[in-house]
Chains A and B, each alone.
Chain A
Amino acid sequence: MNNETDLLLRAILTDVLGLKPGQTDGFTDETGLFGHLPELDSMAVAGLLTEMEDRLDIVIEDDDIDGEMLEAYGSLLAFAQQKRDGP
């Protein structure tokens, strides 16, 4: 999957994690996020979700957030795509 949501989500992660442009190109569905990257603590995840809301034009509820969705790049992307596609 290399669509608009994918590109936007990579750009958001680049900004939040302070990566160099292009560094997220190597992210695959299995790339670990929350629990794998020490800098991605709860405050940083909260910031990540806020950026996702702003830039992907979605609303994320408390109930949407679970460990599984945040665990790897693939699950976060699937969540973002599902939110953008609507119910």
Chain B
Amino acid sequence: MKPLRWPCPLAGGGTAEEYALGFDRSRDKRLLICPALFDEANRMRRLTVEVMRRLDGAGIDSFIPDLPGTNESMQALHIQSSDDWRDAMKRAANHFSATHVLGIRGGCLFTPLTIPAWHYAPVKSASLLRQMIRARVLASREAGQEETSEALLETGARDGLELAGHRIGPDLFADLRSLEPSNDGNITQIGQDMIGGSGLWMRAEPGESRDQADALAAVLALGIAQ
């Protein structure tokens, strides 16, 4: 596994270098992974990378790019929009010559649909937003401040909002109120019932599961081989 670079398109034109983790042995089968979002990104990271290790063993290259404004990105999160993230994943797919794509949770909202796609436990962005806003209401209440979801939604739409440590700008915030994963016929849905156990995204703390990594890698390897 190596850190790789790829040119991410900027909204105003030009590109910025972004990082991706990749297993690249110039093989024919090449999977792009659109990672889970925000705090779920941490909770799903280990499972994701464990799946990549298994795919490497199965003869499949894989790549997990940073969404601009996240992880090692030099860009600011608060200037991103959902179009920026969609364009970024499209460019990453082209750059790495991806033949297939996997979306994980909120990452399913940004999978390019020009290649065969798998969606693992896709989620509506409104659910992610609701949960982060609720966490903020709870944290504020603990600190003796009263905030309401309704007022935070208004503030977010106008000025953006810091949620769970992520400074989300007004454009992305507005988009996150209504994005839904595509139901396109080219997408294979992977439900948690196919993987077994309970989804690691709902864990209070990042966890891991060898069985779930085995199962998810097997589903992907079988599908990609076809």
Contact = CB atoms under 8 A, between A and B. Distances in A.
Contacts, number: 58
A49 B134 contact: yes
B204 A41 contact: yes
B127 A44 contact: no
Contacts of A49: 134
Contacts of A45: 135, 138
A40 B137 contact: no
A80 B39 CA distance: 26
A37 B205 CA distance: 12
What's the interface size class on B, roughly? 20 to 34
Interface string B184-213: 000000000000001100111101000000
A45 B131 CA distance: 9
B221 interface: no
B interface secondary structure, majority: helix
Interface size on A, as a range, is 20 to 34
Interface stretch (A1-9, A15-23, A24-32, A71-79): A15-23
Contact of B138 (A14, A15, A37, A65): A65
B202 A47 contact: yes
Given A15-B198, A62-B149, A50 B134 contact: yes
Contacts of B164: 43
Given A15-B198, A15-B202, A62-B148, A46 B134 contact: yes
Contacts of A46: 131-132, 134-135, 138
Q: Which 9 A-B residue pairs are closest in the complex by CB-CB distance?
A: A44-B204, A46-B135, A15-B198, A42-B138, A42-B139, A46-B134, A39-B204, A43-B135, A42-B135
Interface of A: 14-18, 37, 39-51, 62, 65, 67
